[in-house]
Chains A and B, each alone.
Chain A
Amino acid sequence: MEKVEKILCDYVYDESKIIQILEEAQNEYNYLPKEVLEYISQNLNTPLSKIYSIATFYNAFSLNPQGEHFITVCMGTACHVRGAPMVLERIEERLGIKAGMTTEDQMFTLKTVNCLGACALAPIVVIDGEYYGKATPQKIGKILDKYQQKETTNTKQKEQVK
């Protein structure tokens, strides 16, 4: 809990900065583990229920561990009219999960976002910070192939090392 302690210290245990504190904690752990929330609750002297309500109200927070690769599909209006629903559907099909979920092997987390404000590239898919503009179901299939191949090779290598 040293990391959380440091974050709390940075914000001088100010309860009104709870959103920023949770944001930083999430950056640190990639999600908000229960123990972290409990620790914050005790040290800010704030009921856990209140922290839980904030952590579940805002979309940026996740109470579950997130996958190694983070896929964001923009569902803004411009993306919608240029075919984003088809692209999302294809990704969901390929990964076997719905938006908001993480694959069982913890490799991919799929999320949708309401607008990235880069509408000229619509529809947009962002994978680990890399933008893939003018996406189509076909193109995105190929991009996913690349990531999944990489993962298979990585797993194989890891197994060999073992």
Chain B
Amino acid sequence: MKEYRLHTLICAGTGCVACGALDVKEELEKEIVKQGLEDEVKVVTTGCQGFCERGPIVIVQPGDIFYQRVSKEDIPHLVEEHLLKGRPVKSLMYVPGPEKPPIPTMMDIGFFKHQRLLVLKNRGRLDPENIEEYIGFDGYRGLEKALAEMTPEEIIKEIKDSGLRGRGGAGFPTGLKWELCRKSPDEIKYIVCNGDEGDPGAFMDRSILEADPHAVIEGMIIGGKAIGAHKGFIYVRNEYPLAVKRLKIALSQAEEYGLLGKDILGTGFDFPIEVIQGAGAFVCGEETALLKSVEGKVGRPRPRPPYPTEKGLWGKPTNINNVETWANVPAIILRSAEWFSSIGTEKSKGTKIFSLVGKINNTGLVEVPMGITLREIVFDIGGGIADDEEFKGVQLGGPSGGILTEEHLDTSVDYESLTEAGAIMGSGGMVVLSENDCMVDTARYFLNFIQEESCGKCTPCRVGSKRMLEILDRIVEGRAEEDDLKKLKILAEKVKKYSLCGLGQTAPNPVLTTLRYFEDEYKAHIEEKRCPAKVCKNLFKYVITDRCTGCTFCVRNCPTDAIEGEVGNKHKIIQEDCTKCGTCLEVCPVDAVEAVDNE
């Protein structure tokens, strides 16, 4: 293989690509040729680096020099200074705050320093479309060990001993699930990878599939061997075209290398994998619904038992695990259960990936050891709350999860502690909320989501969620009555208790946790017709204060012509015409627009 003096790694995850990473790459390649460096510098496109807030990201190796928010225009200077003359460019480095010096290397940046990468270890260091790079970093060695040196029972024991639990949210012990499926008496068995990551604000699985598809494939083949399965399916969400593309490339390369398909590594074990692209239905993340969808049917769930490990795809025993769970498997087999279980807490082993989003400075994807505190994630890794606002809460687990508050910041991140506090580990969505977020509006948001995605099969979910949403609509619109809160609580309990599948059973959670910790806010909406965070449109108004210099900027930008005023005179908002779109607030150069309670 050709040796290069320098490698430039460009993040080509969805976030960076959306910010123009591919243009940056093109320019970089052009400029390298222009400077005659094409034999010395290699350009590699990698999977998601995780630090999406700072995209597009370019890393120069050796030296681990981290460049952020790189634009096409920065490239000529970067190539000449760093790649040609060897002088790193300070102006493109990460600066942790005002008056602070730039941080040159990746691992010195707070966002990366506190993470522990097991599943995402290959993110940003290899080209996901090149199997040789994966193999170069110990790839498929776990599979080799499993096939050549271990019996299926030994593989299952290793996974059981490691303490690995399902990363899709519920935390069921993976090894135990494998064992149940292995013991199901049937000639034909299947395994499935659940990549129907539907929780809004969560993109862990997308990132793994885009950055390191071979890890998932390797994990599945090992699982296939252990369970005695005949075929694997990877079900990927419709909205992730890049992940599907990379998976397909990875599968064909693995097959070419004899690592997939017939007679894997000459051991006589046959195991093909097929990618199935979903068609946009949130409920298909629920395992029984997902199986229906793989079979080409309408994805509606069915009651369990029987569990898929007994009756799954086409009535055959089927083992379903989430993307992150599968990606954990190769390293456990290669490095041992003992190594894996040394990370984490007593009952929650290993790491967990979270997508850290919302009102946070460092939006991105983070992998942390179990047992870390929420405070460390939000403040040390996440860099605290954006725009100097106050922390209010963190929403975990999407529409099935709950909101935790200031008092829970020191809670250990593990399955048990989070459940005890009223949230769930969930698949890994972590939405940070600030003082300017309304908890009633947030709860309404999730319930509206569930209501739209309810498949309609069972009445508690279909009708119950609709009635709950109507109550929340009344509350946010200022039409609620005193006993609405009581009705909401009763309905929430019923929907939780009587719904058929996980979607309905967990649907009231965002409402219940916000009620538990922020009942005052609900009461302010109902009794005082007031939205303390100034989010619910009917319950506040915008006014122009004396700071107004009369620049007419807002007058000209208001889409509904709801502001009157002339140059030099203080402007006024005509409340009847105002739609509260917030444009005036956005464009005012002197912050003269304020949201206040209705009289």
Q: State yes or no: do A and B come from one complex.
A: yes
B475 within 8 Å of A by Cβ?
no
Min CB–CB distance A112 → chain B (angstroms): 10
- Given contacts A19-B279, A19-B293, A77-B395, are A119 and B19 in contact (CB under 8 A)? no
**B14 pairs with A117, CB closer than 8 A:** yes
**A58 pairs with B358, CB closer than 8 A:** no
Q: Kindly report which residue of chain A lies nearest to residue B356, judged by CB atoms.
A: A119
Q: Kindly report which residue of chain B lies nearest to residue A119, judged by CB atoms.
A: B357
Q: Give bound CA distance, A95 to B253, whole Å.
A: 46
Which of the listed residues A54, A78, A119 has the most CB atoms from chain B within 10 Å of its own CB?
A119
A121 within 8 Å of B by Cβ?
yes
**A117 pairs with B240, CB closer than 8 A:** yes
Q: Give bound CA distance, A54 to B455, whole Å.
A: 12
Min CB–CB distance A111 → chain B (angstroms): 10
Which of the listed residues B363, B433, B581 has the most CB atoms from chain A within 10 Å of its own CB?
B581
Bitwise interface map of A from 123 to 151 toward B, beta carbon under 8 Å scored 1, else 0? 01000000101001110010000000000
Contacts of B298 in A (CB 8 A): 53-54, 57
**B15 pairs with A60, CB closer than 8 A:** no
Min CB–CB distance B281 → chain A (angstroms): 5
Q: Kindly report which residue of chain A lies nearest to residue B55, judged by CB atoms.
A: A120
Contacts of A15 in B (CB 8 A): 296
**B437 pairs with A81, CB closer than 8 A:** yes
Min CB–CB distance A137 → chain B (angstroms): 5
B486 within 8 Å of A by Cβ?
no
B304 within 8 Å of A by Cβ?
no
Kindly identify which residue among A23, A75, A137 contacts B559, using a CB–CB cutoff of 8 Å.
A137
**B18 pairs with A138, CB closer than 8 A:** no
Q: Kindly report which residue of chain B lies nearest to residue A77, judged by CB atoms.
A: B201
Bitwise interface map of B from 6 to 23 toward A, beta carbon under 8 Å scored 1, else 0? 000000001100110000
A90 within 8 Å of B by Cβ?
yes
**A17 pairs with B586, CB closer than 8 A:** no
B557 within 8 Å of A by Cβ?
yes
Q: Give bound CA distance, A87 to B454, whole Å.
A: 25
B282 within 8 Å of A by Cβ?
yes
Contacts of B119 in A (CB 8 A): none
Q: Give bound CA distance, A53 to B279, whole Å.
A: 13
- Given contacts A83-B582, A124-B18, are A77 and B279 in contact (CB under 8 A)? no
Chain B interface size range:
35 or more
Min CB–CB distance B213 → chain A (angstroms): 16
**A57 pairs with B299, CB closer than 8 A:** yes
Q: Give bound CA distance, A114 to B297, whole Å.
A: 22
B597 within 8 Å of A by Cβ?
no
**B199 pairs with A119, CB closer than 8 A:** no
Q: Give bound CA distance, A82 to B442, whole Å.
A: 12
Min CB–CB distance A113 → chain B (angstroms): 6
Bitwise interface map of B from 273 to 290 toward A, beta carbon under 8 Å scored 1, else 0? 000111111100000000
Which of the listed residues B198, B201, B277, B586 has the most CB atoms from chain A within 10 Å of its own CB?
B201
Q: Kindly report which residue of chain A lies nearest to residue B52, judged by CB atoms.
A: A120
- Given contacts A19-B293, A117-B203, are A86 and B581 in contact (CB under 8 A)? yes
Q: Give bound CA distance, A138 to B587, whole Å.
A: 8
Min CB–CB distance B448 → chain A (angstroms): 9
B504 within 8 Å of A by Cβ?
no
Contacts of B398 in A (CB 8 A): 77
Kindly identify which residue among B18, B277, B282, B363 contacts A23, using a CB–CB cutoff of 8 Å.
B277
Contacts of B363 in A (CB 8 A): 78, 119-120, 122
Contacts of B437 in A (CB 8 A): 81
Min CB–CB distance A22 → chain B (angstroms): 7
Interface residues of A in 70-112 (CB under 8 A from B): 75-78, 80-83, 86, 89-90, 93
**A58 pairs with B281, CB closer than 8 A:** yes
B368 within 8 Å of A by Cβ?
no
Interface residues of A in 41-87 (CB under 8 A from B): 53-54, 57-61, 75-78, 80-83, 86
Min CB–CB distance B456 → chain A (angstroms): 9
B327 within 8 Å of A by Cβ?
no
Q: Give bound CA distance, A136 to B280, whole Å.
A: 26
- Given contacts A77-B429, A115-B199, are A136 and B586 in contact (CB under 8 A)? yes
Contacts of B557 in A (CB 8 A): 138
Q: Give bound CA distance, A5 to B433, whole Å.
A: 51
A20 within 8 Å of B by Cβ?
yes
**A20 pairs with B277, CB closer than 8 A:** yes
Contacts of B238 in A (CB 8 A): 58-60
Q: Give bound CA distance, A29 to B363, whole Å.
A: 38
B206 within 8 Å of A by Cβ?
yes
B552 within 8 Å of A by Cβ?
no
**B279 pairs with A115, CB closer than 8 A:** no
**A78 pairs with B281, CB closer than 8 A:** no
Contacts of B199 in A (CB 8 A): 115
Bitwise interface map of B from 348 to 380 toward A, beta carbon under 8 Å scored 1, else 0? 000000010111000110000000000000000
Min CB–CB distance A55 → chain B (angstroms): 9
**A114 pairs with B200, CB closer than 8 A:** yes
Contacts of A82 in B (CB 8 A): 358-359
Interface residues of B in 21-47 (CB under 8 A from A): none
Q: Give bound CA distance, A108 to B389, whole Å.
A: 37
Contacts of A120 in B (CB 8 A): 15, 52-53, 55, 357, 363-364
A9 within 8 Å of B by Cβ?
no
Interface residues of A in 6-20 (CB under 8 A from B): 15-20
B184 within 8 Å of A by Cβ?
no
**B296 pairs with A116, CB closer than 8 A:** no
Min CB–CB distance B318 → chain A (angstroms): 15
B521 within 8 Å of A by Cβ?
no
Contacts of B277 in A (CB 8 A): 20, 23
Contacts of B239 in A (CB 8 A): 113, 115-117
Interface residues of B in 412-428 (CB under 8 A from A): none
Min CB–CB distance B585 → chain A (angstroms): 10
Q: Kindly report which residue of chain B lies nearest to residue A113, judged by CB atoms.
A: B239
Min CB–CB distance A116 → chain B (angstroms): 6
**B581 pairs with A118, CB closer than 8 A:** no
**B14 pairs with A116, CB closer than 8 A:** yes
**B280 pairs with A121, CB closer than 8 A:** no
- Given contacts A19-B279, A81-B431, A138-B586, are A119 and B296 in contact (CB under 8 A)? no
B295 within 8 Å of A by Cβ?
yes
**A75 pairs with B200, CB closer than 8 A:** yes
Q: Kindly report which residue of chain A lies nearest to residue B13, judged by CB atoms.
A: A118
Q: Give bound CA distance, A16 to B206, whole Å.
A: 25
Question: Lowest 6 A-B CB distances belong to which pairs?
Answer: A117-B203, A59-B280, A77-B201, A58-B279, A120-B52, A131-B18
Q: List 17 A-B contacts (CB under 8 A).
A: A58-B278, A60-B278, A77-B431, A78-B431, A89-B579, A93-B559, A115-B199, A115-B203, A116-B239, A117-B355, A118-B15, A118-B18, A118-B52, A119-B201, A136-B586, A137-B586, A138-B587
